[in-house]
Chain A
Amino acid sequence: MIVELGHFALVLALCAALAQTIVPSWGARIGDPELMAVGRSAALTQFALVAIAFAALVNAHLTSDFSVLNVAENSHSAVPTIYKISGVWGNHEGSMLLWVLILAVFGALVAVFGRSLPRTLRANALAVQGLISVAFLLFILLTSNPFERLAPAPFEGRDLNPILQDPGLAIHPPLLYLGYVGFSIVYSFAAAALIEGRIDAAWARFVRPFALVAWGFLTIGIAAGSFWAYYTLGWGGFWFWDPVENASLMPWLAGTAFIHSVAVMEKRDALKVWTIFLAILAFSFSLLGTFLVRSGVLTSVHAFASDPRRGVFILAILALFIFGSFALFAWRSPMLKQGGLFAPISREGALVLNNLLLTTACATVFFGTLYPLALEELTGEKITVGAPFFNMTCGVLLLAAAAVTPVGFSLAWKRGDLLGVVQRLAVAIVAGALVAIAGTAWLHGGPVLAPIAAGLAIFVILGALIEVFLRVWRPGLSAGVALGRAAGLPLSFWGAALAHIGVGVTLLGLAGVGFGAEAITTLHKGVPQAVGPYRVTLDSVGDRVGPNYTEVATTMTVRSGDRVVASIEPARRKFDAQPMTTTQAGMATLNFGQIYVSIADPSPDGAVPARLYWKPLVTLIWLGGCAMAFGGALSLADRRLRFGAARRSRAAMAAAAAE
């Protein structure tokens, strides 16, 4: 019964979304404020209905209602509760429902916080947001209904894929979706601005927090996914340039470009057309990612052709929103008034360069991901575009973009002084160069890119710190005054500084890969094996029983010299319900680096074949990602950006005038 209610709520949500699309846009056209106001209540209603549908599905999973096809196929009564919940989005139908739920959440946020917006802008933005909901609700209801019943109901479910039974994967998809779908708001506002033919700094001020939220979640989501791959894959890889990863990297790159360009627009009223373009691009890549992952086209062009219903439907949605918005862009963007002139050497100029590099990097990922598919479809020729290609193109472009970061951060708006900036950053430049040279000497003949990345990382980190230092400290200032100056700096400045430091920190972690060590060997009890600066000794091998698996577990001791620094327990896990084995790597964090050991099945005499790694600074890769996201959150907390700030200050001014 609850399941049918959920299904019914989803159908009603489609009606609400239709109302949200048609009524306010008609109202904006004829200038009727009451029709425009319908957008708000329709958005809230739609959110409530989708939330009911989602809750119904969660309930079916929690109670292991195997008469629901979705539950029977993706759950099992013995699965721990947390994975019963994460199993809701661990499959196609449920994940699409989560997608639509987040879409509705963002629509509702605009309805609640958008009161200070011009009425027509809000009405049009909500209408576009409603149209996206309509498309995806139709997709779910027509091709991917999560509420489909199964008769007769099986006695037991088919189990959630063991790979998905992991805390990292429980939180990864929702984080990523918050990012992906968050850009829908940016897109809707861009479309609304184009429909109105008008855009100004207030637009940027309202859209920027949404972009920061989406970007922050996307950053954390990508970092979580990368960390999950690192500890599950058994050899410590953290990025594979897999099409599925690329699908999330493309909106991130476009989104990164957007949050910089929208900042320029807010402060300097410049780069309007470019900002709109990036807004459309970011969400287009989110849609493309959804298509790539959901249509099955990645696995094989033929898999797509054999069951084309879902793929073709998403492709149609993709075409509608991407071509529709770019057509609108081509038609309307010439009408947008340009403002805020600037010289090429200026903070704006540096941001334009940075945006160019980011979008080019994004384009290479796009081509690299889709080229093999297109080539196979057109000529039948099969090629592979793998990591070496992306490192050579996208990797180099991103290094260049990182190098521009401190320069742009130190340049003045409108017209900057490049020589002055070089002097300001002299310490960072020298330190970075020294690190690069020392690293090259250390590796002599090893990877070339690693020392360069390390040098750049130091340059980026020190560059941001110097900028903070120079803003706070002047010769002769007392500590108290300097602290006061620090407190007086806007939070968005601190956020930007922290995010830039995060870029450097991640880069440093990536550079660390080139300085690692590896040993492939068979471990015998009590015989130490050297890896990097440490020695690893196998102590014991034994069996262990978990809730729905059994595993072969080993214990090992990590020593530095004679001192014991850590103990690890690499294991191989066999699941009861599925004929499947997973590797649980043994990891110990030492000075931001990690000892990482994965094992194969032990031989009868107790010897264990193993791969041992020393990965210096590897944890910095994800810590840097967290710093970036936290920087975004700080920026978000800036007083200027708070929702309704403009309205309150207007009210205060009115009160002051009345006195």
Chain B
Amino acid sequence: MRRPVLSHGERWESGQRETLSLRRESSRRRTVLLVLPLLFAIAAPALAVQPDEVMKDPALEARARSLSAELRCMVCQNQSIDDSDAPLARDIRLFIRERIAKGESNDAVRSYLVSRYGDFILLKPPFQLDTLLLWLSAPLTLVAGLAAVWLARRRQPGATEALTEEEEARLAALTKGDG
């Protein structure tokens, strides 16, 4: 049987089933990042989603998986709760499945979690005023680059002008005459 994951007060119950060593792992992981030179990601040396979490209905399970891939494990460095073995991530995974089993939509579960934890939990930041510059960074850079190329070309007089048809004909006549 699944234990209730959200006690009605303020906090998540921590995962009692996880061993002490697992917990040390995740705090250790944070220190590793400081220590390592330009190292990739952080090691999560255990299972993320565990067999006992999987829902019976594959369609609902697929929904739970896709939702948990969008949510950040908030005690980890840049991992989704789907990939994380931290107790908090497991709690949220179980919470999501509980809500989905009750018939809630993914959007409803997501907005509940955002209301509790803030935008920090979303791996894809929402499009709003304070993320405007972030979302527009790619198009703006591309436009600025294109503008720079266009300006650079304009500064080179005569660089781009192709021959007119008349000139092509004259050129053809001239080269024929040579041959």
Q: Does chain A have a CB within 8 A of B138?
A: yes
Which listed residue (B45, B70, B146) contacts A582, Cβ 8 A?
A: B45
A386, B39: Cβ atoms under 8 Å? Answer: no
Contact stretch, chosen from A133-141, A363-371, A478-486, A629-637: A363-371
A contact residues around B47 at 8 Å (CB): 234-235, 583, 598-600, 609-611
B51, A521: Cβ atoms under 8 Å? Answer: yes
In the complex, which residue of chain A has the Cβ closest to the Cβ of B77? A242
For the complex formed, measure the closest distance between the CB of A352 and the CB atoms of chain B, giving whole angstroms: 6
Contact stretch, chosen from B103-111, B120-128, B170-178: B120-128
Q: Does chain A have a CB within 8 A of B25?
A: yes
Contact stretch, chosen from B1-9, B28-36, B94-102: B28-36
B32, A386: Cβ atoms under 8 Å? Answer: no
B44, A161: Cβ atoms under 8 Å? Answer: no
Bound-state CA distance A392–B22 (Å) is 33
In the complex, which residue of chain B has the Cβ closest to the Cβ of A387? B123
A389, B124: Cβ atoms under 8 Å? Answer: yes
In the complex, which residue of chain B has the Cβ closest to the Cβ of A386? B123
Number of interface residues of A (CB under 8 A): 89
Residues of chain B in range 120-178 having any CB-CB distance to chain A below 8 Å: 120-125, 130-131, 133-134, 137-138, 141-142, 145-146, 149, 152-153, 156, 159-160, 162
Q: Does chain A have a CB within 8 A of B21?
A: yes
In the complex, which residue of chain A has the Cβ closest to the Cβ of B33? A299
B50, A600: Cβ atoms under 8 Å? Answer: yes
Contact stretch, chosen from A54-62, A191-199, A244-252: A244-252
Q: Does chain A have a CB within 8 A of B60?
A: no
B contact residues around A595 at 8 Å (CB): none
Residues of chain A in range 347-383 having any CB-CB distance to chain B below 8 Å: 352, 356-357, 359-361, 363-364, 366-368, 371, 375, 379, 381-383
A contact residues around B70 at 8 Å (CB): 388
B contact residues around A11 at 8 Å (CB): none
B-contact 0/1 string along A397-429, CB 8 Å cutoff:
100000000000000000000000000000000
A299, B118: Cβ atoms under 8 Å? Answer: no
Bound-state CA distance A611–B45 (Å) is 13
A contact residues around B32 at 8 Å (CB): 161, 163
B145, A242: Cβ atoms under 8 Å? Answer: no
B46, A234: Cβ atoms under 8 Å? Answer: yes
B-contact 0/1 string along A227-253, CB 8 Å cutoff:
011001111010011111101100000
B contact residues around A554 at 8 Å (CB): none
In the complex, which residue of chain B has the Cβ closest to the Cβ of A379? B130
B-contact 0/1 string along A262-293, CB 8 Å cutoff:
00000000000100000000000000011001
Bound-state CA distance A364–B53 (Å) is 36
Q: Does chain B have a CB within 8 A of A146?
A: no
Q: Does chain A have a CB within 8 A of B113?
A: no
Q: Does chain B have a CB within 8 A of A149?
A: no
A contact residues around B156 at 8 Å (CB): 338, 341
B contact residues around A645 at 8 Å (CB): none
Residues of chain B in range 70-93 having any CB-CB distance to chain A below 8 Å: 70, 72, 77-80, 83
Bound-state CA distance A179–B20 (Å) is 40
A611, B49: Cβ atoms under 8 Å? Answer: yes
A contact residues around B33 at 8 Å (CB): 244, 298-299
A382, B119: Cβ atoms under 8 Å? Answer: yes
Contacts A240-B78, A520-B49 given; indicate if A173 touches B122 (C-beta within 8 A).
Answer: no
Q: Does chain B have a CB within 8 A of A164?
A: yes
In the complex, which residue of chain B has the Cβ closest to the Cβ of A222? B40
A393, B138: Cβ atoms under 8 Å? Answer: yes
Q: Does chain B have a CB within 8 A of A217?
A: no
B contact residues around A393 at 8 Å (CB): 137-138
Bound-state CA distance A342–B70 (Å) is 46
B77, A367: Cβ atoms under 8 Å? Answer: no
Bound-state CA distance A600–B39 (Å) is 25
B40, A92: Cβ atoms under 8 Å? Answer: no
A582, B43: Cβ atoms under 8 Å? Answer: yes
B contact residues around A368 at 8 Å (CB): 134, 137
In the complex, which residue of chain B has the Cβ closest to the Cβ of A245? B40
Contacts A359-B145, A387-B80, A520-B49 given; indicate if A242 touches B42 (C-beta within 8 A).
Answer: yes
B24, A384: Cβ atoms under 8 Å? Answer: no
Residues of chain A in range 41-95 having any CB-CB distance to chain B below 8 Å: 89-92, 95
Bound-state CA distance A392–B141 (Å) is 15
Q: Does chain A have a CB within 8 A of B179?
A: no
Bound-state CA distance A293–B35 (Å) is 9
Bound-state CA distance A326–B87 (Å) is 47
A242, B41: Cβ atoms under 8 Å? Answer: yes
Q: Does chain B have a CB within 8 A of A176?
A: yes
Bound-state CA distance A226–B121 (Å) is 25
Q: Does chain B have a CB within 8 A of A172?
A: yes
For the complex formed, measure the closest distance between the CB of A159 and the CB atoms of chain B, giving whole angstroms: 12
In the complex, which residue of chain A has the Cβ closest to the Cβ of B23? A579
For the complex formed, measure the closest distance between the CB of B12 and the CB atoms of chain A, giving whole angstroms: 18
B-contact 0/1 string along A584-601, CB 8 Å cutoff:
000000000000001111
Bound-state CA distance A642–B79 (Å) is 45
For the complex formed, measure the closest distance between the CB of A519 and the CB atoms of chain B, giving whole angstroms: 9
A contact residues around B30 at 8 Å (CB): 299
A contact residues around B137 at 8 Å (CB): 363-364, 366-368, 371, 393
For the complex formed, measure the closest distance between the CB of B60 and the CB atoms of chain A, giving whole angstroms: 14
Contacts A384-B122, A386-B123, A580-B21 given; indicate if A356 touches B142 (C-beta within 8 A).
Answer: yes
Residues of chain A in range 84-141 having any CB-CB distance to chain B below 8 Å: 89-92, 95, 98
Bound-state CA distance A345–B118 (Å) is 49
A contact residues around B78 at 8 Å (CB): 240-243, 384, 386
Contacts A89-B37, A360-B145, A364-B141 given; indicate if A384 touches B45 (C-beta within 8 A).
Answer: no
For the complex formed, measure the closest distance between the CB of A51 and the CB atoms of chain B, giving whole angstroms: 19
Q: Does chain A have a CB within 8 A of B59?
A: no
Q: Ordered nearest first, which 3 A-B pairs have the shortest CB separation?
A: A386-B123, A388-B124, A95-B37
Besides A386-B80, A522-B51, A580-B21, 7 other A-B contacts (C-beta < 8 A):
A344-B153, A363-B138, A375-B130, A381-B130, A383-B130, A583-B45, A611-B47
Q: Identify the B interface with A (CB < 8 A).
A: 19-22, 24-25, 28, 30, 32-54, 70, 72, 77-80, 83, 118-125, 130-131, 133-134, 137-138, 141-142, 145-146, 149, 152-153, 156, 159-160, 162
Can you list 17 residue pairs at the A/B interface with Cβ under 8 Å?
A: A164-B36, A229-B41, A234-B45, A240-B41, A242-B40, A273-B152, A303-B34, A360-B138, A360-B145, A367-B133, A381-B119, A384-B72, A384-B78, A388-B70, A521-B54, A581-B46, A598-B47
